Structure 1
Amino acid sequence: MSIETRLREDIVRLSKSLFDRGFSVGSAGNISAAVEDGILMTPTNSCLGFLDPARISKLDRDGRHVSGDKPSKEVFLHRAFYETRPQAGAVVHLHSTFATALSCLADTDPEDSIPPLTPYVVMRVGQVKLLPYVKPGDERMGDMIRDLSGQYAAVLLANHGPVVTGKDIASAVYAAEELEETAKLLVLLRGASTRMLSSGNVAELKSVFGAY
């Protein structure tokens, strides 16, 4: 089995896992993974729970559609992450409930939209920037990612949802799950006196485990 064939099957398997557990509904969300000669991406208007590995879109390094179904309209968003974060091997964009809820709240900190509540969100996701709203598929989305110069592994799109990168497809999916679970805790704890990790705690985690 070729590397690309295995990666197509991994995208299908992990996408279905996300769908089955409610991280994605209907045709919401899109996932991509880098291959040697381009990018594999879930097709536009496809459901993450019912993907066909043979129909996954493939784009060349210049973003041209070369095979499979038409790619997601969020292709500009994905390409911008690959261009600015060479270490990124995959990008996961979901409309998961609690992360999207945080992206809609007026008091969410745009510089640190998922604060360090647990060690694992620090280790697997890092600081998360909230980006201004633009309509889905707007090319300005890619421009906003490029303006970050690769500083963030994950962002929240205002009134839209999270986008998370990882060194490979599994890492990106796991990080997206960690972000959503942390967002859930943040929503559940709203209004309560909450203890966040200190800057010293965060520095220690980054020193010991590194920062993606």
Structure 2
Amino acid sequence: MSEAQARELICEMGRSMFERRLTFGSSGNISLRTDDGWLMTPTGSSLGRLDPARLSKLDDTGRLVSGDAPTKESFLHLAMYRERAKAGAVVHLHSTHSVAVSCLDGIDHEDVLPPITAYYVMRVGKLPLIPYYAPGDKALGEAVGRAAARHNAMLLANHGPVVAGTSLSAAVDAIEELEETARLYLLLHGRPTRYLTPEQVEDLKRRFPPQ
């Protein structure tokens, strides 16, 4: 994929998620690995109105080399890439149902959502909850990095999900599956529910490792 194609893809995916109300206002950010660094959405930008020419281009040290200043949460993306060598893209959203789940008391911080569907297990797997940090707090990047060593997806408390994928399409598919599972979880909350068994989960993990 050329850089021009990568820029267009980021804008296309961002607009699609915005129009389907997976993110709002200027919240959420996207990054994509390139041969010599990363492309990222700029700080203060709406995913629904991205300009390919103004995307932030960072070199392999994380330094801005062209475009607008990158998202203030660029350190979250870089922390994911440092720990996940196969990650080709990272998506972070403030999607409604995922954020709602991240605010619930009494959820399992090691594995927030139960295995409701096969596709959640296949695309997300185990989902840890990262403790709350104020926006921009660099300690959040350290916490994300520690979790990223073992997980391709995580949920930031009172904030939203962060997901890495081998490609931008894989990352978007996974974060959309996470959001849909969060919605299902809230719909089923308090009702007797039949989740996938541990044996079924292990079988899915063998057949379909998360991307």
Structure 2 letter corresponding to 1:43? P
Q: Which residue of 2 aligns with 1:90?
A: 89
Matches within 5 A, 1:33-182: 33-148=32-147, 150-182=149-181
Structure 1 letter corresponding to 2:2? I
Give 3-state SS (helix, strand or coil) of 1:40's partner: strand
CA-to-partner distance for each residue in 1:76-101, whole Å, 9 max, x for gaps? 10000000000111000000000000
Give 3-state SS (helix, strand or coil) of 1:163's partner: strand
CA-to-partner distance for each residue in 1:44-80, whole Å, 9 max, x for gaps? 0100000000000011111111111000000110000
Q: Which residue of 2 aligns with 1:207?
A: 206
CA-to-partner distance for each residue in 1:145-196, whole Å, 9 max, x for gaps? 2223520000000000001111011110111100000000000111100111
CA-to-partner distance for each residue in 1:99-141, whole Å, 9 max, x for gaps? 0000001122110112211000010111111000001121111
TM-score by length of 1: 0.97
Give 3-state SS (helix, strand or coil) of 1:159's partner: coil
Structure 2 letter corresponding to 1:17? S
User: Hey, what's the Cα distance between the residues in 2 that align with 1:210 and 1:125?
Assistant: 9
Give 3-state SS (helix, strand or coil) of 2:161's partner: strand
Q: Which residue of 1 aligns with 2:18?
A: 19
Q: Runs in 1 of length 4+ with deviation above 6 angstroms?
A: none
- 8 Å CA contact 1:43, 1:70 repeated in 2: yes
- Is the deviation greater in 146-155 or in 109-118? 146-155
User: Hey, what's the Cα distance between the residues in 2 that align with 1:80 and 1:205?
Assistant: 28
Unaligned runs of 5+ in 2: none
Structure 1 letter corresponding to 2:168? I
TM-score by length of 2: 0.97
What fraction of aligned residue pairs are identical, expressed as a percent?
53
- 8 Å CA contact 2:128, 2:147 repeated in 1: no
CA-to-partner distance for each residue in 1:5-61, whole Å, 9 max, x for gaps? 101100000100000000011001011010011011000010000000000001111
- 8 Å CA contact 1:80, 1:145 repeated in 2: yes
Give 3-state SS (helix, strand or coil) of 1:33's partner: strand
What is the count of residue pairs matched by the alignment?
211
RMSD: 1.0
- 8 Å CA contact 1:75, 1:137 repeated in 2: no
Give 3-state SS (helix, strand or coil) of 2:186's partner: helix
Structure 2 letter corresponding to 1:47? S
Give 3-state SS (helix, strand or coil) of 1:148's partner: helix
Structure 2 letter corresponding to 1:31? I
User: Hey, what's the Cα distance between the residues in 2 that align with 1:9 and 1:136?
Assistant: 28
Structure 2 letter corresponding to 1:141? L
